[in-house]
């Protein structure tokens, strides 16, 4: 079942950390199992509220969720629509935070070779050709 964390917490996509926390507390109190004993729908809603808060209250998880949705958090980029990705979640962290998540320098090198934004092509030019075209 697909759902939107922002809709679950009844907040806008640009909500602040305090707004997220207030919405979580309000809704968690409303749907808490102790207040709704035996209500399976309230129990499900409470679990969704908790999950949404765990993601949206963490800046890193929220950033990934905003960019890639729930699939990004689960590392399932190739789960539908014919899209297949040849990378893992550590590649995303590396691109966001500049490394530190790869387990070896070989992995970092592989990543930089594979996803480099710069294109380098060696060419040989005479000095005059380089200056005057």
| Tens-digit pLDDT profile for residues 34-55 | 898 889 999 999 999 999 999 9
Q: Over the stretch 54-111, which tens digit does the pLDDT of each residue have?
A: 999 999 999 999 988 888 887 765 444 434 444 455 655 565 566 554 455 555 555 5
pTM: predicted TM-score of the whole model, two decimal places: 0.55
pLDDT bucket at 21, cuts 50 / 70 / 90: very high
Which domains, from first to last, does the chain contain? 5-80 (1.10.287.110), 86-118 (no CATH)
| HEC readout, the chain | CCCCHHHHCCCCCCCCHHHHHHHHHHHHHHHCCCCCCCCHHHHHHHHHHHHHHHHHCCHHHHHHHHHHCHHHHHCCCCCCCCCCCCCCHHHHHHHHHCCCCCCCHHHHHHHHHHHCCCCCCCCCCCHHHHHHC
């Amino acid at each position: 079942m697909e759902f939107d964390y922002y809709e679950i917490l009844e907040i806008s996509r640009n909500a602040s950390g305090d707004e997220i926390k207030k919405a979580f507390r309000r809704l968690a109190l409303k749907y808490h199992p102790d207040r709704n004993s035996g209500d399976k729908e309230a129990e499900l809603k409470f679990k969704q509220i908790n999950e949404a808060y765990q993601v949206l209250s963490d800046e890193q998880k929220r950033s990934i969720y905003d960019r890639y949705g729930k699939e990004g958090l689960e590392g399932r980029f190739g789960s539908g629509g014919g899209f297949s990705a040849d990378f893992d979640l550590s590649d995303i962290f590396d691109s966001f935070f500049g490394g530190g998540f790869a387990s070896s320098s070989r992995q970092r090198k592989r990543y930089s070779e594979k996803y480099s934004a710069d294109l380098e092509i060696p060419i040989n030019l005479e000095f005059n050709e380089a200056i005057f075209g």
